[in-house]
Amino acid sequence: MKKKIILLISGKGTNAINIINYFKNSDSVEVSLVLSNNNDSPIFENIKKYNVSAEYFNLEDFDYKVFEKIKKINPDLIVLAGFLKKISSKFINYFSKKIINIHPSLLPKYGGKGMYGMYIHQRVIDSNDKETGITIHFVSEQYDSGEIIFQKKLNINHNDDASLIEKKVHNLEYEYYPKIIASLLES
């Protein structure tokens, strides 16, 4: 029986599409559903060529209807791929050690509410950091503070700007997030 993943997104869904592509021919893992709280996300158009459903949900329904839907699917892993809502203790307790997130910095640096995307990369520049990277972690009740599963560093060159760092970080996300998901599902 295949292991099931549910993806939660708030943005464009590029990490979600990358994960779907990674597992599309897998005999052991399937992406069961993509859920987005962004009705305008390009994911709804971009996912059509895959055999995966994507659904919009209203944030007010997250802890009730969406929770019940996910409970019925009973996924092996809930993967946050650019999902910007705080996950409630109801989810964290029920799906203990089954919810993971990727963060575009080396946590604990630049974590917390409102810290995502270009906000982080600009802070890295403003702080004259010599390195940044990605952190994949279990989700806990505080933003970006769950147990770290994996980190990958990248060096910052003196002429890098925030948008170049963003591109480099995205490349790390695309390379490592699916691999870490696969390794978690195998263990």
Note the Cα 110 to chain centre separation in Å: 16
CA triple 76-1-88, angle to 5 deg: 15
Cα–Cα nearest to 10, from 31, 29, 35: 35
Catalytic site residue 103? yes
Residues 6+ apart with CB under 8 A from 22: 178, 181, 182
The rounded distance, in Å, linking the Cα atoms of 165 and 142 is 26
The single residue of 103, 121, 158, 170 carrying the catalytic annotation is: 103
The rounded distance, in Å, linking the Cα atoms of 185 and 29 is 8
The rounded distance, in Å, linking the Cα atoms of 11 and 25 is 25
Q: Which residues are catalytic?
A: 103
